Amino acid sequence: MANHKSTIKRARQAKVRRLHNRYYAKTTRNAVSALRATSDKKEAEAMLPKVSSLLDKLAKKNIIHKNKAANLKSSLAKKVNTLA
């Protein structure tokens, strides 16, 4: 374990941030999988802006990479558009 006061505090902060980031990343992953599992077009169209917003927020806070967010949004939009 760290010996300096500042490094002890850093370790505490890193733990809190890690848990916070994991929570939001997991919530978003669940939302993405729910959208992928949907076969109803109206429901999927209603979910898409919310999921896109979650992805944008994660990318903005560097929890996921901005290109990953863009790729996920693109593939989800394609899926929603192909639903009949």
Tokens 């209603």 correspond to what residue?
Answer: 46
Q: What is the mean pLDDT of residues 14-20?
A: 96
pLDDT, tens digit (0-9, with 9 covering 90-100), for 31-78: 999 999 999 999 999 999 999 999 999 999 999 999 999 999 999 999
**What's the average model confidence in pLDDT over 6-13?**
94
Question: Angle, nearest 10°, between helix axes 66-82 and 5-37?
Answer: 10
Q: Distance (Å, rounded) from C-alpha 25 to C-alpha 54?
A: 9
pTM: 0.84
Q: pLDDT class for 1, splitting at 50, 70, 90?
A: low
Q: Is the pLDDT of residue 29 over 90?
A: yes
Q: Which domains does the chain have, with CATH numbers?
A: 5-82 (1.20.58.110)
Q: Are 64 and 55 in contact (CB under 8 A)?
A: yes
Nearest of 82, 60, 81, 78 to residue 69 by alpha carbon: 60
